[in-house]
Amino acid sequence: MSIITIKRFLLLALLTLFCQAPLTLADSLTPAQARSIAKQAYIYGFPLVDHYRVQYTYFQDRQHPEFKAPWNTLHNTARIYTPDDKAYPTPNADTPYSQLGADLGTEPLVLTMPPVKDGRYYSAQFVDAYTYNFGYVGSRTTGNGGGRFLIAGPDWHGSVPPGIDRVLRSETRFAFVFYRTQLRGPDDLENVKKVQAGYKVQPLSAYLGQPAPAAAPAVNFPVPLSAQAERTDPAFFNQLNFVLRLSPIHPSEKALMQSFVALGIGPGLTFDEQAWPEDIRAAINAGIADAWKDFDALGQQVARGEVSTSRFLGSRDYLANNYLYRMRATVTGLYGNDREETLYPPFYLDAQGQKLDASQHRYTLRFAPGQLPPVNAFWSLTLYDANRLLVSNPLNRYLINSPMLGDLKRDADGGVTLYIQHAQPDSALVPNWLPAPDGPFYLAGRLYWPKPEALDGRWQAPKVQRID
């Protein structure tokens, strides 16, 4: 028996113990099998690895310019995101963020949301290490009256103390709480800061006035791959193994984990690319490339309007183990909301079915009378470059949203036409100008707390039209 075969059987034995299920595997792994496993594991694992990269940057690497705060410490970003913010794609420029990296290994946390009296939209989104949204508090779900909410990890079995309005359970020890507070305009920033000052986080023991329990075992966090290396480097699979070690395997995924073990992929395992012969290594790299081909094919379906982006975001139950959808959501809009919280109509193509490119054309987007996006909170339209980042421009204007309606020029019939182009238009149209780069771009719509007619399709977003 070869060294490689012995190694694979040892890995099988380890995962059999972990999954408590029998495993079988042929004595040899063909390149075709390795390619298929690598593709499936990459699609499955990309959200976990990319999320880990961002969380490490935000809450672990104190030397990184994007570092926010230590674990279990709330950080408020009391400013608008700009083109200088590059940590993850499609940043939002009309709801200043607050972020909490939650380590729930020792004990739960108690989160306090303040009352907000002026009807301002705010929310806290709860995301686990699998990137599933496992709960919300705020305007849509719990109202603007505030409250106290307990977030607990998978190993907590205590009783809920008095004064807690809701318990949110994370599948994983490490979770992310992503707060959004509506900004109504540049002169509204001080009001946003006052709301953010009311967001509070306490360990459960501090909330109860009791001594803290014994700390959970410390974690030795590996340095993540760069966003670029994640796309091609097979070392990706060892980072996936690390995240899986801290993330209990869901019962619906035990068989899937068993299929990954042949390549040394799984909790507690080690992926060793150099242990494989050259043809298997080539197959692993081909499998990664295959994953991106599937990703691109799904993107083409989205651009043609055949698949809605609203299907890519949500809870584990909602996504129903569609891992390609989860990967697409991570790459194009990590930490996007459930469709009931925010609907994201994308604008990738013009009315002729061609990609948007402001080096070639000027465009308009017109909302006919009575056809503005139907929302309970507010809507926005943000422009991004080909890298899904905000675009520098002389107005420092990255979006147009519903709070700006009073400043926009109306059409003769009362509709609203937005002008999307690189060069500044005539002065009368500047209020309606959304500056574009001198090249490819795309537009992301956001409907916060959408009304039923937006969710069920009675309202349809208009098409982007060329005007030259």
Instruction: State the Cα–Cα distance between residues 347 and 368, nearest whole angstrom.
Output: 17
Q: Give every CB contact of residue 448 below 8 A, 6+ residues apart in sequence.
A: 95, 121, 182, 341, 342, 375, 376, 377, 378, 379, 380
Phi, psi values for residue 150, rounded to 5°: -105, 130
The mean per-residue pLDDT over the stretch 308-330 comes to: 95
Tens of pLDDT, residues 131-172: 999 999 999 999 999 999 999 999 999 999 999 999 999 999
**Residue 84 resides in a domain:** yes
- Asked if 195 and 73 sit in the same domain, the reply is yes
- Asked if 87 and 175 sit in the same domain, the reply is yes
234: its two tokens: 């097979």
CA distances from 437 to 265, 388, 462 (A): 41, 12, 22
- Asked if 319 and 433 sit in the same domain, the reply is no
Strands (DSSP E) contained in 194-264 are 200-203
87 confidence band (pLDDT: 50, 70, 90): confident
Tens of pLDDT, residues 265-310: 999 899 999 999 999 999 999 999 999 999 999 999 998 889 988 8
Instruction: State the Cα–Cα distance between residues 438 and 185, nearest whole angstrom.
Output: 27
CA distances from 105 to 151, 172, 326 (A): 11, 9, 25
**Residue 197 resides in a domain:** yes
**Residue 12 resides in a domain:** no
pLDDT at 50: 98
**Of the residues 300, 332, 364, which one is the last residue of a structural domain?**
332
The mean per-residue pLDDT over the stretch 111-138 comes to: 97
CA distances from 380 to 94, 399, 449 (A): 8, 7, 12
- Asked if 100 and 194 sit in the same domain, the reply is yes
State the total domains in the chain.
3
**Residue 391 resides in a domain:** yes
The residue among 118 and 229 whose pLDDT is bigger is 229
Q: Give the pTM.
A: 0.88
pLDDT at 468: 82
Q: Determine the longest span between alpha carbons in the chain, in angstroms.
A: 81
The CATH number that applies at residue 190 is 2.60.40.1610
- Asked if 262 and 158 sit in the same domain, the reply is no
- Which of 13-17, 163-167, 329-333 shows the highest mean pLDDT? 163-167
The residue among 351 and 305 whose pLDDT is bigger is 351
**Residue 21 resides in a domain:** no
Instruction: Please give the residue range of the domain that contains residue 42.
Output: 31-55+225-332
- Asked if 49 and 100 sit in the same domain, the reply is no
**Residue 14 resides in a domain:** no
The CATH number that applies at residue 447 is 2.60.120.1600
**Of the residues 332, 358, 380, which one is the last residue of a structural domain?**
332
Tens of pLDDT, residues 46-70: 999 999 999 999 999 999 999 999 9
Do residues 189 and 79 make contact, with C-beta atoms less than 8 angstroms apart?
yes
For residue 353, is it left (φ>0), alpha (ψ between -120 and 50) or beta? left
- Asked if 77 and 193 sit in the same domain, the reply is yes
Instruction: State the Cα–Cα distance between residues 71 and 106, nearest whole angstrom.
Output: 12
**Residue 338 resides in a domain:** no
**Residue 16 resides in a domain:** no
The residue among 461 and 12 whose pLDDT is bigger is 461
CA distances from 61 to 105, 109, 226, 326 (A): 19, 22, 13, 26
- Asked if 201 and 76 sit in the same domain, the reply is yes
- Asked if 317 and 374 sit in the same domain, the reply is no
Tens of pLDDT, residues 385-408: 999 899 999 999 999 999 999 999
**Of the residues 162, 182, 208, which one is the last residue of a structural domain?**
208
At residue 20, does pLDDT exceed 60?
A: no
Q: How would you label 230-265 residue by residue, b for 16+ Cβ within 10 Å and e otherwise?
A: bbebbebbbbbbbbbebbebeeebeebbbbbbbbbb
- Asked if 181 and 110 sit in the same domain, the reply is yes
Q: How many whole angstroms from its chain centre is CA 157?
A: 29
Instruction: State the Cα–Cα distance between residues 290 and 286, nearest whole angstrom.
Output: 6
Element (H, E) at 453: helix 452-455
- Asked if 187 and 262 sit in the same domain, the reply is no
The mean per-residue pLDDT over the stretch 168-190 comes to: 95
The mean per-residue pLDDT over the stretch 252-276 comes to: 95
Phi, psi values for residue 346, rounded to 5°: -95, 155
Tens of pLDDT, residues 281-293: 999 999 999 999 9
DSSP string computed for 52-118? HHHHHHHHT-TTSTT---STT--EE--S---TT--SSSS--SSS-EEEEEEE-SS--EEEEE---TT
Q: What share of the chain is helix, strand, coil (3-state, %, to 5)?
A: 30, 20, 45
- Asked if 281 and 149 sit in the same domain, the reply is no
The mean per-residue pLDDT over the stretch 94-115 comes to: 97
